[in-house]
A and B are shown apart, each in its own frame.
Chain A
């Protein structure tokens, strides 16, 4: 088993673990952050597969922008916290 295959195995294990952890975690915020990490490790997998264009797209769109969208939606959910509704802009930041 050469070094490349070893790296690929490691990436695969990390990918599977991150996906499972993101979907199984009780805290949704933690799940979203793990999903972003999953996207970044997937980007490395694309490099290993000889697909640099896909790696760029995955990092920017798949991990970065999708992650931003998910966190923004999570933050806008109503009643996430007793003080804050989805649409009102009174009250102070709870620290995103």
Chain B
């Protein structure tokens, strides 16, 4: 078992954790966090499965992941701007069907 193999499975775990939180949590910023975690998981699968032979470093998945990181922040920025608009328009940073849910964001500890 090589390091790459381990990280690829970690990526799979992150994908699952992110998908679980994306569907089940209501707060929109938390959904954005979940999407980012899923993205990082996919990147780990890409590069991790490329490093499984432990041989030479393959630059193509690395370039794809760098592209992915930049696209992810672009999408995140646009998504967060939309979250702010929704929050200002409806009073809560949540989708219409989630407006009555406890967003579990309490000030203070």
A interface residues (Cβ-Cβ under 8 A, vs B): 4-5, 8-9, 12, 15-16, 19-20, 22-24, 26-28, 31-32, 35, 38-39, 42, 45-46, 48-51, 53-54, 57-58, 61-62, 65-66, 69-70, 73-74, 76-81, 86-87
Q: Given A28-B29, A35-B33, A69-B77, does the pair A8, B105 have CB atoms closer than 8 Å?
A: no
Q: Given A62-B69, A78-B88, A86-B87, does the pair A46, B47 have CB atoms closer than 8 Å?
A: yes
Contact at B33–A15, with CB atoms within 8 Å?
A: no
Contact at A35–B36, with CB atoms within 8 Å?
A: yes
| Main secondary structure on B side of the interface with A | helix
Contact at B109–A27, with CB atoms within 8 Å?
A: yes
B contacts with A, residue count (CB < 8 A)? 50
Q: Which residues of B contact A9 (CB under 8 A)?
A: 6
Q: Which residues of A contact B105 (CB under 8 A)?
A: 26-28
21 contacts across the A-B interface (CB closer than 8 A)? A5-B3, A12-B10, A23-B17, A26-B105, A27-B106, A45-B7, A48-B3, A49-B47, A49-B51, A50-B57, A51-B57, A53-B66, A54-B62, A54-B66, A61-B69, A69-B76, A70-B80, A78-B91, A79-B91, A86-B88, A87-B88
